[in-house]
Amino acid sequence: MEFLHTIRQPWPWYVAGPLIGLTVPTLLLIGNKSFGISSSLRHICAACLPANISFFHYDWKKEAWNLFFVAGVLLGGFVATRFLANPDSISIAPRTVAALQDLGIRDFSGLMPADLFALSNLFTLKGLFFSVIGGLMVGFGTRWAGGCTSGHAIMGLSNLQWPSLVATICFMVGGFVMTHLLLPFIFAWVN
Amino acid sequence: MNQSFPLKPRSSNDLGSLHEAPGAKTKPETGLANLKYLIVGLLFGVVFVKAEIISWFRIQEMFRLDSFHMYGVIGSAVVVGLLSVQFIKRFGIKTMTGEPVHIAPKVFHKGQIYGGLIFGLGWAITGACPGPLFAQIGSGYGLVAVTLLSAIGGTWLYGYFREKLPQ
């Protein structure tokens, strides 16, 4: 039970990071697959709604491994939350809490702020911004960039690809601009 | 920069080469073979949740420079990934089925800048890159299913407008 208690605590970065890094050689060695997640979104388009778009006309079934992988990630999310959940609330850096309180976030108990991601926000401006518009940007941006945090920041940098370094820097710049320059306006609008 | 693996002469008892389709980088896999990716994905999803990488708050901490956590996660993942890839290359480690390991090089185009910035802006709103989206849904955050559908929609829109975008 001691073991179960330990793994229910939040895992530190020096445990999680190396485990995530090990995904790279694991996928290479079990099937010669390059780690990457955003491609799954493209395969879903190719499978469900290829329309007349040549970008989606390819044999997505050959890339089915990627869909199995993300289905596994979803299941892993369920398993970890259902069986290994941390009994305590998440502890967030006090400065971030203060900054988010200024923006109108009140609920700091879960991994996601209920103020933004409760299902009841679906048809509100919050839902529109934080789920619909945010999601569109994630999907559009990752495909245009040719990868996301996994494909570029982890797989690309692991293989010393300088275009991946450019992409990773741009991911971070975009995130800093949104957090510090744009989020205050968005929150003022949706609150 | 080393973009592909040096081809090593194969020994005659190398069974791997017998199965290789002409020109194919990887052998086709079907059905049950894909279950191993489901299992790796599952473990990966558990790590995502347990290290709170799927948390919108952790992403905010990262972009506000208030916590080292996410930098530690990504940084140490890159270090381990880098060492592994270099090890595989240096010693010519083969895959389980005996193929030489192949990693497609990333070719630079302007999309990595424009698309990267757009993804970064979205990352700070949704608090998730594509991987954590799946783990958040599995964790029971139902509204994220809308985020995921939107991300699929965004990918589709990219495909639709691709010809008109600078590449």
Contacts of A65 in chain B (CB under 8 A): 29, 34, 37
Task: Give me the residue label for tokens 């279950």.
Answer: B35
Q: CB-based contacts of B160: which residues, under 8 Å, 6+ apart?
A: A51, A53
Phi, psi dihedral angles at B100 (to 5 degrees): -70, 140
* pLDDT for the residue numbered B14: 36
Can you tell me which residue has the tokens 């530690």?
B72
Check CB contact under 8 Å for B116 and A95.
no
Beta strands in B50-165 (DSSP E): none
DSSP H helical ranges for B27-68: 35-50, 56-63
Closest by Cβ to A53, choosing from B135, B150, B159: B159
In tens digits, what is the pLDDT along chain A, a chain of 191 residues?
A: 688 888 999 999 999 999 999 999 999 999 999 999 999 999 999 999 999 999 999 999 999 999 999 999 999 999 999 999 998 889 999 999 999 999 999 999 999 999 999 999 999 999 999 999 999 999 999 999 999 999 999 999 999 999 999 999 999 999 999 999 999 999 999 98
The pLDDT, as a whole number, for residue B123 is 98
Least confidently predicted of A32-41, B2-11, B61-70, B129-138:
B2-11
- Here the tokens at position B93 are 């480690």
Q: Which ipTM did the prediction report?
A: 0.96
Measure the CA–CA gap between B107 and B127, rounded to whole angstroms.
28
User: How many CB atoms within 10 Å of residue A91?
Assistant: 13
Q: Which residue of A has its CA nearest to B47?
A: A16
Supply the pLDDT for residue B21.
Answer: 35
Q: How far apart are CA A55 and CA A129, in angstroms?
A: 27
Per-residue pLDDT at B30: 66
pLDDT at position B118: 98
Angstrom distance (rounded) from CA A6 to CA A10: 9
pLDDT of B4: 45
Place of tokens 């600078």: B166
Residues in chain B: 167
For residue A151, give the DSSP letter.
Answer: I
Provide, as residue numbers in chain A, all residues whose Cβ is less than 8 Å from the Cβ of B61: 92-93, 96
Average pLDDT over residues B34-59: 97
Tell me the C-alpha distance between A171 and B117, whole Å: 5
Does B144 or A6 have the greater pLDDT score? B144
Delimit the domains of chain A by residue range.
Answer: 1-85, 92-190
Task: Select the residue from A4, A133, A137, A186 to test the B interface by mutation, using most B Cβ atoms within 10 A.
Answer: A137
In chain B, residues with a C-beta closer than 8 Å to the C-beta of A81 are 49, 138-140
**Which structure tokens are listed for A97?**
């809490």
